[in-house]
Amino acid sequence: MTRTAAQRAAKAHNQRRMRRLMAYGQWAPMVDAEPARQHVIRLQRCGVALHVQSANTGVPVTTLCALLYGKAPYPPSKRIRTESAAALLAFEPTLDDCPAGARVDATGSIRRLRALATLGWTTQAISVHVTCVSAKTLEQLGRAGRTSKVTAQLAREIRDFYAKASHLPVPADVITPWIAERRRNHAARQGWVKPALWDDDSIDDPAAEPGVAEHTPRYIALGEDCLELERLGHTRQQIAERLGVTRDGLQRALSLYRKTVLDSNDMRKAA
């Protein structure tokens, strides 16, 4: 077979790399396939199809099929390339990677519904925005908190509405003030946690604990710190790493800070 110059160069590079790793005693082209196989099966049970895993890891679907089912007349793979195993094990899907009907952990959804209740949001009002289930189902989910799994579609809709509504007062034209007050009182009696005490980056983690009540909401503290560090020349990514949050979490906090603090200050100055 005739090889192109690029193919010959790539082959020579791989051979040099192999000889170097062999000299250091680090040459391990294949590893045990079982850990990668169990990881792929776990993601499948969560609703993450093989083609989604392939697209996110670069491991061909044919390799995944051989890993799980074998290829006639051979049984499932006992060994797998080191690079493929590392890529598969490193992939942890986000909520947006899961198909609508996949069953995902309900912790974040329950916490968000309860946090919205502390602001006065009723499940009837929330159901206008979270449309894949009834208001009764939302009420049962928030009150009982015993459900371990919800569909990815429901989790996404609750997450997206929470992102819009969790730092703003309940509109009086949406929920009658006395009804909102009754909802807040119920949430307080239950000991439910306000949105300001949940970190957006950890609210879905069952092991995470809410923060301690502070006079300054977290999003305001993050917004002020972000603007100050930007004035000192830091990038958003550097600021996020320094403050211990993700870049997306920092962006959400900054947007809320600008909307609720800076805009209100501008309105007071104009008045």
What was the pLDDT predicted at 215? Answer: 57
Residues 197, 210: contact at Cβ < 8 Å? yes
Among 256, 138, 114, smallest CA distance to 195 is for 114
Structure token digits, residue 64: 């995944």
**How many degrees, rounded to 5, is the angle at CA 207 between CA 206 and CA 212?**
105
Beta bridge partners of 71: 74
Among 154, 108, 104, smallest CA distance to 127 is for 154
Structure token digits, residue 21: 């790793």
Other residues' Cβ atoms within 10 Å of the Cβ of residue 216: 9
Residues 127, 138: contact at Cβ < 8 Å? yes
Instruction: For the chain, list residues with pLDDT below 50.
Output: 267-271
Query: In 34-172, where do the E strands start and end?
Result: 79-81, 103-105, 149-151
- What's the pTM value of the predicted model, to 2 decimals? 0.64
Question: Could you report the per-residue pLDDT of 178-224, keeping only the tens digit for each?
Answer: 999 999 999 988 889 988 888 888 888 888 888 765 556 777 888 88
- The alpha carbon dihedral of 234, 204, 190, 171 has a sign of positive
What was the pLDDT predicted at 199? Answer: 85
Cα separation values, 33 from 39, 78, 80, 263, Å: 10, 5, 5, 56
Residues 99, 46: contact at Cβ < 8 Å? no
What was the pLDDT predicted at 212? Answer: 63
**How many degrees, rounded to 5, is the angle at CA 130 between CA 148 and CA 49?**
55
Beta bridge partners of 74: 71
Q: State whether residue 241 is helix, strand or coil.
A: helix
Structure token digits, residue 250: 């920092």
Contacts of 4 (CB under 8 A, 6+ apart): none
CA gap 156, 109 in Å, rounded:
9
